[in-house]
Chains A and B, each alone.
Chain A
């Protein structure tokens, strides 16, 4: 089951890199949230009830429900197509695929370095690496603010996968602080996203180039 969820997550990453209609992002983010919940559940089901509830909150409530809904609300469904960067169309898919292949190679070479439960950890590690690099690629390759927000969430999903490889080593207090920080940063970004949109009447980041030396 974990293999299936990891593979679907990686496929969703390739699809995220190709998306042209902004509204498609929201469904993909919700799907990733559900997949992360599935993975977290299998990883941590032997843990305490409080921890499981916490993970449920972080993945299903926050990642699968709140974030896509919040993004959909702030874009008000008025933004349909996002501005492209230098790499267009299927070339994005090619690059995302290369990133995934590179992540598998990194995972393969690092397998021996993961001594505890290495087979399982390397799966999370591979998906996490792919997610972080695809997120960075999306951020660099797109000029609009919506996609920048999405890229941040894709990177955060990758970090979450990496934390799964750790199991339940972090104390609850720290987990709560981390979730609160990420939650607040998404909210604050959303608020500023709206302000930028209202001020510049445009979401293209080329508008944000007044500050130069």
Chain B
């Protein structure tokens, strides 16, 4: 079944590339997304099962698979309006839609593979898919961002591959080691810790470009800025999740070894430095898309910090990623609408948004409240759990530093976003036809899901996350 899905991905991407009729091109993407939904139904009763030699379905893969389907579907709906508004050439649209199919298929591969080699191959494939999506606008800025993303990402992924090979060197000391997660986890306490440390360091460095963390975050920010908003939404949500899952696979496999405290320290340092950079840049940026891109970096940092604490922190990290994916993609989608109305993404040119586009303004306002973890946003729960874990582990200084940096981030976001929503500062022409209540309602639904999670803490989500972290040390 899974091979059939990947064959269909390749065929549909190929056919879509040559489909120059706008409607046919859109329909092909939706057919593909229906296929992913179908695969989801096939996978749901098989959680915890090995599907074949290279693929399996586990709880964490399934959680982010559901997020992938939701965000991709909403993204495809938004792209229809984007194409109409920008009068995108049929060839460009065909390329973008083919890229969307390839990108989505690659992420499915990252989420479902049970082999470190194929995990690497699918992660590299996401780079190629993302490259096509980032280049959409065909101007000097998109060319610059695409080149930088492709080059830096390729180097990062090459370093991650060196990490996989170090794992192989470690594995050679034990007989009959293959590169499947289960075998490595089973034998990891017999593997040389030095090679495992080298492996994990290179993997975190390499996949940092996918999660938007130090050291390779710059190209990720540029990519989210210049690509169409729906692409920025995907990079900030599903690709970030894929990067997390890739790192999680290595972490889980090595979690029973003596290097666990070292891995936690590495993730904590990565998270703290990334949070510092995100906070510093968020005070400076005027471009709304870059602001949201740095906000994604901030949340990726919080996820890493929470995860590095272990225990409740694991739960907090995954819950935070789920909700961040929904809120951040909504905000990116709304920026597209804002751009249609004001023809700008610089905050100084955008104001009185709540008056000009009331529903869009509500999305921005509720999105802002969600992203800064104000009640009833579900992100409040994950952030509280993170601080609770930090304090329980007696990481007082780290908790204080994180709290201060988060306050800086909230200030940076509040100044820009509240100004956009309430302040009158626009001097240029406004295109009221750019407002789309239909799009805003979809975005609002995503944010309301996060509020629902915050208010009611649905049992299936709690159980799903608990199942995902069951194999990690307490």
Residue of A nearest to B145 (CB): A211
Report, as a range, how many residues of chain B touch the other chain. 35 or more
Contact call A174/B117, Cβ cutoff below 8 A: yes
Pick the residue among A113, A125, A171, A196 that contacts B147 (CB under 8 A). Answer: A196
In the complex, the answer to whether A211 meets B127 with C-beta atoms within 8 Å is no
Render A8-46 as a binary contact track against B, CB cut-off 8 A, 1 for contact. 000000000000000000000000000000000000000
Known: A178-B121, A184-B128. A192 touches B146 (CB 8 A): yes
Mark the stretch among B153-161, B424-432, B461-469 that contacts chain A: B153-161
Evaluate whether A116 and B172 lie within 8 angstroms (CB atoms) in the complex, with A159-B162, A165-B165, A189-B151 already known: yes
Cα-based distance from A102 to B108 in the complex (angstroms): 40
Indicate whether A159 sits within 8 Å of B161 (C-beta atoms), given known contacts A169-B168, A170-B117, A174-B179.
yes
Q: A152-B158, A185-B150 are in contact. Are A113 and B172 (CB under 8 A)?
A: no
Query: What 1/0 mask marks residues of chain B from 249 to 282 whose CB sits below 8 Å from any chain A CB?
Result: 0000000000000000000000000000000010
* CB<8 Å pairs between A and B, sample of 28: A116-B172, A121-B169, A128-B162, A132-B159, A136-B155, A152-B151, A152-B158, A155-B158, A163-B168, A165-B169, A166-B168, A169-B168, A170-B168, A174-B118, A180-B121, A184-B128, A189-B151, A192-B143, A192-B146, A195-B143, A199-B140, A200-B140, A210-B140, A210-B141, A210-B144, A211-B144, A213-B285, A213-B287
Residue A181 at the B interface, CB < 8 A? yes
Name the residue in A158, A177, A184, A211 with the highest tally of chain B Cβ atoms < 10 Å from its Cβ: A211
Contact among A110, A177, A185 for B117, CB-based, below 8 A? A177
Inter-chain CA distance A209–B155, complex, in Å, is 20
Rounded to whole angstroms, the CA-CA distance of A162 and B194 in the bound complex is 16
User: B379-403: contact bitstring with A at CB < 8 Å (1 yes, 0 no)?
Assistant: 0000000000000000000000000
Residues of B within 8 A of A182 (CB): 124
Q: How near does chain A come to B167, taking the closest CB pair, in angstroms?
A: 10
Chain B positions 147 through 185: 1 when the CB is less than 8 Å from some CB of chain A, otherwise 0? 110110011001101100100110111000111000000
A-B contact count (CB 8 A): 120
**CA distance in complex: A162, B159 (Å):** 11
State the 5 A-B residue pairs at the shortest beta-carbon distance, nearest first: A174-B117, A177-B121, A181-B124, A166-B168, A208-B144
How does the 8 Å CB contact mask read for A112-127 relative to B, with 1 for contact and 0 for none?
0111100001000100
Shortest distance between the CB of B38 and any CB in chain A (Å):
24
Contacts A169-B168, A174-B117, A210-B144 given; does A181 touch B125 at CB 8 Å:
yes
Contact for B165 among A116, A159, A189, A211, CB less than 8 A: A159
Evaluate contact between A177 and B150: CB separation under 8 angstroms: no
CA distance A180 to B155 in the complex (A): 16
Closest to A176 in B: B121
Interface residues on A, range: 35 or more
Query: Given contacts A196-B143, A211-B141, are A113 and B225 in contact (CB under 8 A)?
Result: no
How many whole Å from B394's CB to the nearest CB in chain A? 34
Q: Residues of B contacting A189 with CB < 8 Å?
A: 150-151, 154
A188 interface residue, CB < 8 Å from B? yes
Q: Is A145 an interface position by the 8 A CB rule?
A: yes
Q: A181-213: contact bitstring with B at CB < 8 Å (1 yes, 0 no)?
A: 110110011001101100110000000111101
Is the beta-carbon distance between A213 and B290 smaller than 8 angstroms? yes
Is residue B192 within 8 Å, beta carbon to beta carbon, of the partner chain? yes
For residue A173, CB closer than 8 A to chain B, the reply is: yes
Residues of A within 8 A of B118 (CB): 173-174, 177
In the complex, B357 has a CB within 8 A of chain A: no
CA distance A38 to B421 in the complex (A): 65
With contact pairs A116-B172, A156-B158 given, residues A208 and B290 touching in the complex (Cβ less than 8 Å):
no
Minimal beta-carbon separation of B259 from chain A (angstroms): 14
| Partner among A167, A174, A200 whose Cβ is within 8 Å of the Cβ of B115 | A174
Residues of B within 8 A of A132 (CB): 159, 162
B192 contacts A173, C-beta separation under 8 Å: no
The smallest beta-carbon distance between B295 and chain A, in angstroms, is: 13
A60: Cβ under 8 A from any B Cβ: no
Chain A residues near B54 (CB-CB < 8 A): 173
A64 within 8 A of B: no
Cβ of A82 under 8 Å from chain B = no
List the A side residues contacting B165 at CB < 8 Å.
159, 162-163, 165-166
Q: Residues of A contacting B225 with CB < 8 Å?
A: 211
Q: Among B120, B135, B143, point to the contact of A178 (Cβ < 8 A).
A: B120
Chain B neighbourhood of A158, CB < 8 A: 162
Which residues on B sit within 8 Å (CB–CB) of A55?
none
Give min CB distance, B422 to chain A, whole Å.
Answer: 24
Q: Which residues of B contact A180 (CB under 8 A)?
A: 121
By a CB distance below 8 angstroms, the chain A residues around B17 are none
Instruction: Let me know if B327 is at the binding interface, CB within 8 A.
Output: no
Judge whether A113 and B194 touch: CB under 8 Å.
yes
Q: Decide if A148 is an interface residue (CB 8 Å cutoff).
A: yes
Residue of chain B at shortest CB distance from A184: B128
A156 and B159 alpha carbons, distance in the complex (Å)? 9
- CB within 8 Å of A: which B102-151 residues: 115, 117-118, 120-121, 124-125, 127-128, 131, 135, 140-141, 143-148, 150-151
B172 close to A169 (CB less than 8 A): yes
B222 within 8 A of A: yes
- Decide if A159 touches B158 in the complex (CB within 8 Å): yes
Residue of A with least CB distance to B161: A159
Does chain A have a CB within 8 A of B84? Answer: no
Q: Roughly how many angstroms separate A74 CA and B151 CA in the complex, as a whole number?
A: 17
- Residues from 277 to 325 in B contacting A, C-beta threshold 8 Å: 281, 284-285, 287, 290
Asked if residues B179 and A213 are in contact (CB atoms below 8 Å), the reply is no
A178-B144 CB under 8 A given contacts A152-B158, A159-B161: no
Name the CB-closest residue of B to A207. Answer: B144
Chain A residue nearest to B125 (CB atoms) is A181
Q: In the complex, what's the smallest C-beta–C-beta distance from A113 to chain B, in angstroms?
A: 6
Who on chain A is nearest to B151 by CB? A148
B226 at the interface (CB under 8 A from A): yes
